[in-house]
């Protein structure tokens, strides 16, 4: 596995791979867990070259957020990427990726970036799209793998790629969960014992709503209320029903889409979402995106 610590290294390593080889790319902020692992394993299966990046991107953190304390576990991350058969990884640094003269911001407009996460984190998506556009320029991937865990981010990236005609296929991968249903996240390590014990209720609430939808409940307010009731006592930032293509809010009668929740536990925001039309109640649900020729 080639480890690049600069853009120059990365370009050199990238050029050494055969021309025409397909490249699957997984951008991450490190502190890797099995959720990231599923993206990397899929990139490995579906492409000639499997590439990843690890970069805690300061531009996507707002003031007062956890940029400084974000977990950094480089040795373990590299071991995991190696085990999964990655060929190439960029360990990004601020100085190299954002030199002093750096002056570009890639920023979407409109409800896709101002709703939900965008309303709470107004500079977040511009930070994400700026770094991902840059990483796409560096890695020149054939396919890039993103998790449904960050549903809005996945749709923002798809919009950017279409708008800027970037020649990459954006692949969405279903949420990987702990055995008790908690969506894996690098930030779960911030939770204390008590918060971690309560956290599975979030997934339970989403499954309840999905089951109700499958049973014929099509009233948005009823579906949202079921989640709120199950999560009584939680500090909920939002419970929303959203389209998996446009991210528009689903109106009555609610069609297929996903139900999203953000719960705040102490200072940690736990994001989760679930497909209303999921046929499985298991922990590794599969979205139609994932079905194409892959084994879960």
Active-site positions read 36
Q: How far apart are CA 263 and CA 14, in angstroms?
A: 40
Residue 35 in contact with ligand AMP, rule: CB under 6 A: yes
Which member of 4, 10, 25, 28 binds ligand AMP (CB under 6 A)? 28
- Residue 132 C-beta-side C-alpha neighbours within 13 Å: 30
Phi and psi for 80 in degrees, rounded to 5? -65, -45
Residue 266: count of CB within 10 angstroms of its CB: 11
Instruction: Tell me how far, at minimum, the Cβ of 286 lies from ligand AMP, in Å.
Output: 12
Judged by CB, which is closer to ligand AMP: 13, or 61? 61
Cβ 63 to ligand AMP, closest distance in Å?
A: 19
Of 154, 139, 176, residue with least CA distance to 247: 154
Whole-angstrom Cα distance, residue 144 to residue 171?
Answer: 6
Q: Which of 40, 183, 210, 227 binds ligand AMP (CB under 6 A)?
A: 183
Q: What mask, x for binding ligand AMP by CB under 6 A, covers residues 130 to 169?
A: ----------------xx-xx-------------------
- Alpha-carbon distance of 241 to 223, in angstroms, equals 9
CB nearer ligand AMP, residue 173 or residue 223: 173
Q: C-beta of 41: minimal distance to ligand AMP in Å?
A: 11
Q: Are strands 258-265 and 235-242 parallel, antiparallel or unpaired?
A: antiparallel
User: Contacts with ligand AMP in 36-75 (CB under 6 A)?
Assistant: 36, 38-39
CB 152 within 8 A of CB 180: no
| Residue ranges in contact with ligand AMP by CB under 6 A | 28-29, 35-36, 38-39, 146-147, 149-150, 173, 175-176, 183-186
């Amino acid at each position: 596995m080639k480890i690049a610590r600069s853009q120059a290294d990365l370009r050199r390593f990238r050029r050494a791979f055969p021309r025409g080889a397909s490249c699957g790319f997984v951008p991450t902020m490190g502190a890797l867990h099995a959720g990231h692992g599923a993206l990397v394993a899929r990139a490995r299966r579906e492409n000639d070259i499997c590439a990843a990046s690890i970069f805690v991107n300061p531009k996507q953190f707002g003031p007062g957020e956890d940029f400084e304390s974000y977990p950094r576990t480089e040795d373990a991350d590299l071991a995991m990427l190696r085990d999964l058969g990655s060929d190439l990884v960029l360990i990004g640094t601020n100085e190299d990726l954002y030199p002093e003269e750096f002056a570009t911001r890639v920023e979407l407009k409109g409800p896709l970036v101002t709703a939900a996460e965008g309303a709470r984190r107004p500079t977040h998506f511009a930070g994400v799209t700026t770094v991902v556009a840059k990483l796409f320029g560096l890695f020149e991937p054939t396919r890039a793998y993103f998790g449904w865990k960050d549903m809005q981010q996945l749709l923002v990236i798809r919009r950017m790629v279409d708008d800027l005609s970037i020649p990459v296929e954006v692949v969405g991968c279903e949420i990987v969960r702990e055995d008790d249903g908690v969506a894996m996240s690098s930030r779960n390590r911030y939770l204390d014992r008590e918060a971690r014990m309560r956290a599975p209720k979030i997934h339970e609430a989403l499954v309840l709503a999905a089951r109700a939808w499958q049973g014929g409940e099509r009233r948005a307010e009823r579906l949202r209320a079921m989640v709120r009731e199950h999560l009584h006592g939680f500090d909920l930032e939002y419970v929303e029903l959203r389209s998996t293509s446009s991210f528009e809010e689903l109106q009555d009668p609610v069609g297929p889409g996903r139900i999203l929740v953000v719960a705040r536990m102490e200072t940690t925001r736990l994001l989760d979402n679930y497909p209303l039309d999921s046929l499985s109640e298991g922990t590794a649900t599969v979205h139609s995106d994932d079905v194409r020729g892959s084994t879960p």
